[in-house]
Amino acid sequence: QVQLVESGGGLVQPGGSLRLSCAASGSISSINAMGWYRQGPGKQRELVARVTNRSSPTYADSVKGRFTISRINAKNTVYLQMSSLTPEDTAVYLCNVGGLAPWGPFDSWGQGTQVTVSS
């Protein structure tokens, strides 16, 4: 079983910054992809940013130039640095990690961390 622990959410004023982190633990043989999704009030879940072993990071158009995804492979951890936040960024942010465990492939989700952008 692979567990994800997210942290870093909270309340921030418009124009502010936050950094989210997500650490994966458990029986992990390798990680292929790590990413962040979000689900705002009354909205569908959407991809925010994703990084894989084989490609450059990808971002939703709405966050390009404002958000940066990064990972530390040795710690099985992925970060999302968010800046110039707007109320439209308010959402529950969920971490997603896919890879290989001793028993086979896995695709795990975190419980989510709330980000609220408001004055």
Q: Is the pLDDT of residue 6 over 90?
A: yes
Q: What integer is the mean pLDDT of 96-116?
A: 97
Q: What angle do CA 76, 80, 82 make, to 5 degrees?
A: 165
Whether 108 has a pLDDT exceeding 90, the answer reads: yes
Q: Is 5's pLDDT higher than 90?
A: yes
Taking alpha carbons only, the member of 89, 92, 91, 86 closest to residue 119 is 86
Kind and range of the H or E run holding 2: strand 2-7
Q: Reduced to 3 states, what is the DSSP secondary structure of residue 74?
A: helix
- Mean pLDDT across the chain: 96
CA distance 37 to 96: 7
Average pLDDT score over residue span 59-81: 97
pLDDT, tens only, 47-62: 999 999 988 999 999 9
Contact status, residue 97 vs residue 22, Cβ threshold 8 Å? yes
pLDDT score, position 57:
96
